[in-house]
Structure 1
């Protein structure tokens, strides 16, 4: 599949006249708990030629495959590909966008070219906002807890839609850094040995074995933990006061340097 993904990326470059700077896996495979039929969620950052940016008209800054603009080669049904144009990615980076941070630190990288992503990683410590990221993970946990874990019967996979953002929030509370993307790293660091951790580990084994859609009675020890920590993180985040210097000029310079590096223009 890696070769297929890399071939699809090359075709995207041809069909959209762009250069892909970085491509990685996002979602359950990157988080470390894919099931047998999990999609490949490929996310990438790309840059257009100079003239694309020198226009008075607003243009679409996302490439999605399958998309309205079909590309020359067929895409596998299990392959979900989506990319952000570089200036869009940098604007989101400036806002400390958690999904973008997850891309940058994915353990599964399909492609990296030029220096833009390394420069972004070097700036991350000065841009990371624990407040923004905590609110992102907290809102995700709240919504998924409300939507998926309130019934008497629960699908196994739905626990992870709440568990991972809660543990990511606990990591931010503990370290004030970008949380690791791998679910197991969060579990090992945040949860002490005991009944709760054993229940989660057992659930993870079952999910990866393909039982993720099974409906079964709600697991109270997990529900109670998630509810308690959501309440705690909601109170905690309101007390954080964290300001960062405006990184706009550094990001503007990174953007211009990338155009020059990729397309040879000044």
Structure 2
């Protein structure tokens, strides 16, 4: 999970270049994806995600700027970010990606402006939205990658992690943590932990898990959990958020 000082410097230089060329201020930047989840392969790329703010005048123009910056995508770096307006609108909708960014264990940059937002993020978490997001992710990856006799073994993590995220939400009523180890220790059945740990060690040490025979004990667990989560998700009551705090924070950040 540690980032080398060399890569830290490379990423910081990229952020400075974005600010200069795009005329924005980056108020928060983190690692997302497998490195932040804690199961990166040696050759995994760096999924760098940031939140930025433009000058106040830019938000008053009739010709609006794009609300995303897609900066770089290659074998080493995947860098893109969201405008503060987009981020706050998605927070209002309890967007799970934003919660993941806010809890990333690898932070490249933070600011007092972001601290204003991070202090209220948890208030905007909606249980039903979170469960349905991770349930859809788990079902999609399972259906596409893990139902044949031979499967891409790394895809087990892209099904098990969202399942465990659902179980965390249903149990604790809060956004799930980023780290897979924390989810696994808290939410995974004990009898499955040795098999998952075996796959985890292989993934961390090799560039590619590759294909292998379907692991029936994991597939059985996945199918059982997906059915149970779907039943529980259907009876969660809808909740709604409020704009007032987000509008206030947005205006305060612009004034700074």
- TM-score, normalising length: structure 1: 0.91
Equivalent positions of 1:1-266 (< 5 A) are 1-66=7-72, 77-115=75-113, 117-194=114-191, 196-210=192-206, 212-244=208-240, 246-261=241-256
| Cα RMSD for the two superposed structures | 1.3
User: Between Structure 1 and Structure 2, how many residues are aligned?
Assistant: 250
Query: What are the superposed Cα offsets for residues 201-242 of structure 1, whole Å, 9 maximum, x if unpaired?
Result: 111011111163411100011111111111111111110114
Q: Quote how far apart the aligned CAs of 1:248 are.
A: 0.8
Unaligned runs of 5+ in 1: 68-75, 262-266
Runs of 4+ aligned structure 1 residues displaced above 3 Å come to none
Q: Per-residue displacement from partner, 1:88-117 (whole Å, max 9, x unpaired)?
A: 0000000111111000000000001223x2
- Partner Cα distance (1:147, 1:125) in 2: 32
Secondary structure of the residue aligned to 2:206 is helix
Distance of 2:225 and 2:104 partners within structure 1:
26
Secondary structure of 1:44's partner?
Answer: strand
- Encode CA deviations 1:120-168: one digit per residue, 9 max, x unaligned: 2222232110100111000000100000101111112111110110000
Which residue number corresponds to residue 72 of structure 1? Answer: none
Counterpart CA distance in 2 for 1:34 and 1:256 is 38
Q: Which stretch shifts more, 83-92 or 54-63?
A: 54-63
For normalisation by structure 2, the TM-score amounts to 0.94
Contact 1:156 1:212 in 2 (8 A): no
What 5-or-longer segments of structure 2 have no aligned partner?
A: 1-6
Work out the CA distance in 2 between the residues paired with 1:187 and 1:211. 23
